[in-house]
Structure 1
Amino acid sequence: MEAATVTRRRGGGRGRARLVPLLFLAPALIFLVVWVIYPTIWTIGRSFFDRDGGTFVWFDNYQEIFTTDTLLTAIRNNVIWVAVVPALVTAIGLIFAVLTERVRWSTAFKTAVFMPMAISLFAAGVIWRIMDEKDPAQGTVNAVIKVFDDAFGGGGAVTAAQSSTPQLTGSISSGFVLRTPLRAGDTAVLGLTAIPPDEIPRDAPDAQQPSAEAGAITGTVWRDFKPGGGRPGVVEPGEQGIGGATLELRDNGGGVVATTSSEPDGSFAFDDVGSGQFRVAIASSTFTTPFEGVSWLGEKLITPAVMIAYIWVWAGFAMVIIAAGLSAISREVLEAARTDGATEWQVFRRVTVPMLAPVLSVVFITMIINVLKVFDIILSVAPQSSQDDANVIALAMWRTSFGGVNDFGLGSAIAVFLFLLVIPVLALNIRRFKREEG
C-alpha cells in the first residue's frame, strides 16, 4: 500500500515537472501556431486557387511564375543578389574588422560604419533615393562624380553655336575653322551666334578687339550678337566674350601645332608661332556637353544602385560580428606566424581567414537569407518607372497580392516559392549549429 502511494506521488511529481515547462511555453506555442504555422498552411493551400479563391487551378499559379516576364526578372535579380551581395558584405566586413584593429580611432570608425543599422531599410532607401538623383545639383553621388569630371576636363564653354560669318566654317561636332590663313603678327576674330543665353554668364566681360603682337597670332572668340542689331564679324561694345573656349593653331596640312584657351573676355594668343601660314580653329571640345549625371535610378543601373545601398547598411553588421570573432583569435598564433617569416598578407590569408571561417560562414549564410527576403529597400529606392527592372521575389509577391493586382492566388504561389528557396539555407544553418555543438 505504501509502495503504491509512493509510486503515485512520483508519477504526479513527474507530471507536474512536465506541465510547468509546457505552461511557460504555451504563450509562445500559441503565437507560433497563430502567426506562423496556420498562415503557412493557409498560404500553401491558397496558392492552388485562382485570383478570387473560388476555383481550384492546380499548379497554374506556379507555372505562371516561370512564364511571366516580370516574375522571371524578379528571379534573375534574386540570383544576382545572392551571388553578389553576401560575398561583398562579408568581404567588406572582414576588411574593416582587420584594418580597424590597427588604428587608434577604431571605435569612432566602427560606430560610423554601424550607424546605418540603427535605421530601417526603408529609411536607408529614402536616403539613397535622394543621393542617387541624376541631377548633380540634387544627388550627392553625381555631385561627387561631377567634381572629378570638372577637375579632369568637364564640359565645354558652350553646348551649341553657329558661325556668325562665312569666314568661319564648320560645326560644333567638327569645330570651326577660320578660312583666312594667318601669319605671325596677324589677328583672328571668331564670332559665334545661336548660343543658348543661359550659357554665357551675366557678368561675362565685353569682348575686346584683338591687338596685334609681333611673333604671335592673337584673336578673340565672342558671342557675335548685340540686342537691337549690330554688324556680323565686328567686335562691338555690349557683345560678350566666350571664356574657356579651346583654340587650335593648325598648319597647312590640318595638323594641330598648338592649343590654348580663351580668357573670360574671349581673347587668346599663340606666342612664338614662327614663319609660315596657319589657320586658327575653335576645337570641338569647346562644345562638349557638361556632365549631366549618371542615371542610377534608371532601368539599367537601378539594381546595382539598390545593392550599394543595401551593402552600406549591412557592412557594419558584418564588421561587428567578424571583429568579435577576430578578438577571440589567439595572438600567439599570429605572432608565431610572423616570427616564422610570414608576411602580413600571408598571415591574413593562411591564418586569420581560416581561423575566422566559422564566423565568416555565419555572416555569409545570414546575408543569403536576408537577400532572399529583400523587399523594403527596393520599394523605397526604385522609382515606379524602374521597379519592374529592380524587381525581386519578395517585392513581386507584395505587388501581386497588395500592390493593386490583388491576385492572391499567384501571390501565395510566389510566397511558397520563396519559402522553398529559404528552406535549404535554413537547413544548412541548422546543420552548422549542430556540428559546432557536437
Structure 2
Amino acid sequence: MVAVHTKPPRAVSRPSPAPAHPRHRTPGRWRRWLLAAAFLAPALAVLTVWIVYPTARTVLRSLFGRDPHEFVGLDNYHTLFTTDTLTTAIRNNALWVAVVPLTVTAIGTVLAVLTERIRWSAAFRTAIFMPMAVSMFAAGVIWHVMAEKDPQRGTLNAVVGAVHDAVSPTGVLANGRPSTPALTGDAGSGIALRDPVRPGQAAPLGLTGIPARDVPPGSVRAAIPPAAADQVTGTVFRDFSPGGGRPGVVEPGEAGIPGATVELRDAGGRVVATTRTAADGGFRFTGLAPGDYRLAIGPDTFAAPFAGVDWLGPKLITPTIMIAYVWMWAGFAMVLIAAGLSAIPREVLDAARVDGASEWQVFRRVTVPLLAPVLTVVLVTMVVNVLKVFDIVMAVASESTQDDANVIALAMWRTSFSGDGDYGLGSAISVVLFLLVLPALAFNIRRFRREGRR
C-alpha cells in the first residue's frame, strides 16, 4: 500500500474589514460651507444693501401717499394710469420701444456690412462709434443746441434753410403795401395794378410801409425806363419822399426796389411773363402783341426768410430725441454686428454667390439668419435701454416741452424730486418700470442658459 499524505490546507489571510466611517464628514462639510459663505458674503452684502433692500423699500413705499404714514394701497397705481402726464409718458415709452431698437439694429447692420467693403474701415467705425464716448447728457445738450429754431444758431435748421433757399429763395422785401388806390392786393397774394396797360405804356408801382433799413442793398434812385411800341415798362419803388410828395409818382430821392418779381398777366389773369427789377426798380416786357395786360408785383417778392423748423416744439420733440438717441447707439450696434460678421465663414457666403444669389439675397437669406444671435443681443439690449431712457430726454427737451417728451423714468424723477415731492407716486412709477424691464431680462437669462448648454 502506498501511503498518501494530504497537505493540510493553507490558511488564507483575509483583510480585516475597514472601520466603519460616518456617512458624512461633518467638519469637512461645514468647512466648505463656511468657505463659500466667506467668498459670497461681500457680494451678498452689496446686493442686499444696494438692490434687495431698495427694491423692497420702493415697493412698500408705493403703497403710501405723499405722507409716508398715510397708507393708500393701490391708489398710486390708479393715479399712474389715469393722469394725462403719466399716460403720455407710458405712450411715449411704447413708441420708443416700437421704433428705436429696430432702427438702431437696422442701421447698425447696414453700417457693419458696408464697412466690410470699404477702405479705411477702422477709421470709419471709429468715427461712427465716437458718440458712445460722450455722456448721454452731454450728447443731449449738443443736440439741443443743434436743434435750435433760429437758423443762425441751430445746425439742423441751417442745413434745412440752405435747401429751402435753393428751392424757394427769400424775397427781397419783408413787407409792403400799395401806396395808392391804383394798386390792390397784399404781400401774401401779390400787389396788382387795377387798370390794364397796353404796349407802349409805362406804369409806376409804388410801395409803402418799407423801412429804410429794409430796402434791398444795391438800390439806386428810382427811374422809369421808356417804353417802345411793343413794350410795357415801369418801376417798383419805395414811394416815400422826405418832407412829403405825391403818392404814385416817382420823385427825386425815392429808391428803386431791385430784385422784385413783376408779373405780366393777360386779361384773364393768367401770367404770361415774369421779370425781375433792376437796381433802379425798372423792368421791361418786350415783344408784346396789342391788347390789354395787367401788371402785378409777385408774392415771391415778399417771400419770408426761412424761420426754422421747431424741432424742440411739442410736435417734434420726441422724434428729435429719438434721432439723437439713434445717433448715440448706432455705433454700438455696428461694432457688435461687425464682430458677428467676422465670425461668419466666408465659404458659406461664397457658395451662395456661386449658386447665383445676388448680394441682396446673400444678405437677406444667409447673412441675416447667421447673425440672428447677435441681432437678438443688440435688440434686447436696446429694448432695456429705451425703457430706462432718461438723461438725454431731460437734456434735449426744455422745461416747456418735457410734458410732451415725457417718458417713464423722467416722470418718476419729476414726480419724486422735481418740486412735486410725491415719493409714493414716484415709487409706484419705478415699480411699473421695473416690471416692464423684467421680461427682457428674463428673456436674456433664458437665452444665456440655452447657449451655455450647447
Match of residue 176 from structure 1? 191
8 A Cα contact 2:104 2:333, kept in partner: yes
Distance 2:21 2:257 in 1: 109
| Identity score, percent | 63
Report the Cα distance in structure 2 between the residues aligned to 1:406 and 1:375, rounded to whole angstroms: 18
Q: Supply the distance in 1 between the matched residues of 2:26 and 2:37 (Cα, whole angstroms).
A: 17
- 1:288-322 superposed Cα distances (whole Å, 9 cap, x missing partner): 32210111111111111111111110111111111
Distance 1:270 1:50 in 2: 79
Cα distance in 2 for residues equivalent to 1:15 and 1:262? 101
Which residue pairs with 1:416 in the alignment? 431
Decide which of 312, 315, 319 is 2:330's aligned counterpart: 315
Question: 2:423, 2:115 → 1: CA distance?
Answer: 49
Local SS of the residue matching 1:243: coil
For the 8 Å contact 1:241–1:264, the answer to whether it is kept is yes
- Of 39, 45, 50 in structure 1, the residue corresponding to residue 54 of structure 2 is 39
Q: Which moved more, 1:141-150 or 1:426-435?
A: 426-435
**Does the aligned pair in 1 maintain the 2:261–2:276 contact within 8 Å?**
yes
Q: Any unmatched runs of 5+ in structure 1?
A: none
- Alignment RMSD, CA only? 2.1
| Matching of residue 327 in structure 1 with residue 342 in structure 2 | yes
Q: Is the 8 A contact 2:218 2:258 kept in 1?
A: no
Instruction: Sort the Cα spacing of 1:243 and 1:4 in 2 relative to 1 into closer, same or farther, 3 A.
Output: farther
Structure number, greater radius of gyration: 2
2:402 alignment partner, SS class: helix
2:295 is equivalent to residue 295 of structure 1: no
Aligned match for 1:425, one of 427, 436, 440: 440
Instruction: Note closer, same or farther for the CA distance 1:198–1:339 as it changes in structure 2 (3 Å cut).
Output: farther
> Could you say if the C-alpha distance between residues 349 and 191 of structure 1 is closer, same or farther in structure 2, counting changes exceeding 3 Å?
same
Indicate which of 102, 105, 109 corresponds to 1:87.
102
Deviation at 1:223, TM superposition (A): 1.5
Deviations, residues 259-288 of structure 1 (Å, cap 9, x unaligned): 122234322222322332211111223223
Contact 2:172–2:216 at 8 Å: present in 1 too? no
Q: Deviations over 1:308-339 (max 9, x none)?
A: 11111011111111111111111111111111
Determine if contact 2:414/2:420 at 8 Å carries over to the other structure.
yes
Change (3 A) 1:264 1:351: farther
Alpha-carbon contact 2:222-2:255 (below 8 Å) kept: yes
Which of the numbers 357, 373, 376 marks the counterpart of 1:361? 376
Are 2:221 and 2:255, in contact at CA under 8 Å, matched by a contact in 1? yes
Amino acid at match of 2:301: T
Q: Check 1:425–1:9 CA distance in 2 against 1; reply closer, same or farther (3 A cut).
A: closer
Match for 1:338 among 337, 346, 353? 353
Name the structure 2 match of 1:243.
258
Quick check: 1:165 aligned with 2:180?
A: yes
**2:114 aligns to what?**
99
SS of 2:111's partner is helix
Q: Relative to 1, partners in 2 of residues 1:4 and 1:280: Cα closer, same or farther, differing over 3 Å?
A: farther
Matched residues in 1 for 2:40 and 2:290: separation? Answer: 100
Counterpart amino acid of residue 184 in structure 1: P
* Aligned counterpart, 2:124: 109
1:37-436 correspondence to structure 2 within 5 Å = 37-201=52-216, 203-213=218-228, 215-436=230-451
Q: Return the alpha-carbon distance in structure 1 between the equivalents of residues 322 and 278 of structure 2.
A: 45
Identify the range of structure 1 (107-116 vs 391-400) with the bigger mean alpha-carbon deviation: 107-116
Q: Residues 189 and 210 of structure 1 are in contact (CA less than 8 Å); yes or no, is this contact kept in structure 2? A: no
Q: In the TM superposition, what is the alpha-carbon distance from 1:227 to its structure 2 partner?
A: 3.1
Matched residue SS, 2:219? coil
Comparing 235-244 with 412-421, greater Cα deviation is found at 235-244
Cα displacement string for residues 219-242 of structure 1 (whole angstroms, at most 9, x for unaligned residues): 221211233333322223432222
C-alpha distance 277-69 of structure 1, shift in aligned 2 (>3 A): same
Give the secondary structure class of the aligned counterpart of 1:259. strand
2:8 alignment partner in structure 1: none
Give the match's secondary structure for 2:73. coil
Q: Deviations over 1:89-122 (max 9, x none)?
A: 1111111111111111322221111111101110
Asked whether the equivalents of residues 160 and 196 of structure 1 are also in contact (C-alpha less than 8 Å), the reply is no
Give the match's secondary structure for 2:429: helix
Q: Secondary structure at the match of 2:404?
A: helix
Unmatched runs of 5 consecutive residues or more in structure 2: 1-17
Whether 1:437 aligns to 2:452 is yes
Alpha carbons of structure 1 residues 63 and 4: separation in structure 2 relative to 1, 3 Å: farther
Shift of 1:393: 0.5
Structure 2 length-normalised TM: 0.91
What secondary structure is seen at the aligned counterpart in 1 of 2:66? coil
CA contact (8 A) 2:200 2:231 kept: yes
For 1:24 and 1:196, the matched residues in 2 are separated by 82
Greater shift in the superposed pair: 230-239 or 365-374: 230-239
The number of residues matched between the two structures is 436
Helix, strand or coil at the partner of 2:172: coil
CA deviation after TM superposition for structure 1 residue 54, in Å: 0.7
Alpha-carbon shift at residue 21 of structure 1 (Å) = 4.6
Contact 1:204–1:241, Cα closer than 8 Å, also in 2: yes
Tell me how far 1:19 sits from its aligned partner: 4.1
**Bigger proportion of residues as helix:** 1
Helix, strand or coil at the partner of 2:263: strand
Please say which of residues 8-17 and 107-116 is displaced more in the overlay: 8-17
Which stretch shifts more, 357-366 or 12-21?
Answer: 12-21
Which region of structure 1 is more displaced relative to structure 2, 413-422 or 3-12? Answer: 3-12
Q: 1:59 to 1:227 in 2, by over 3 A?
A: same
Letter in 2 for 1:235: V
The residue identity in structure 1 corresponding to 2:373 is P
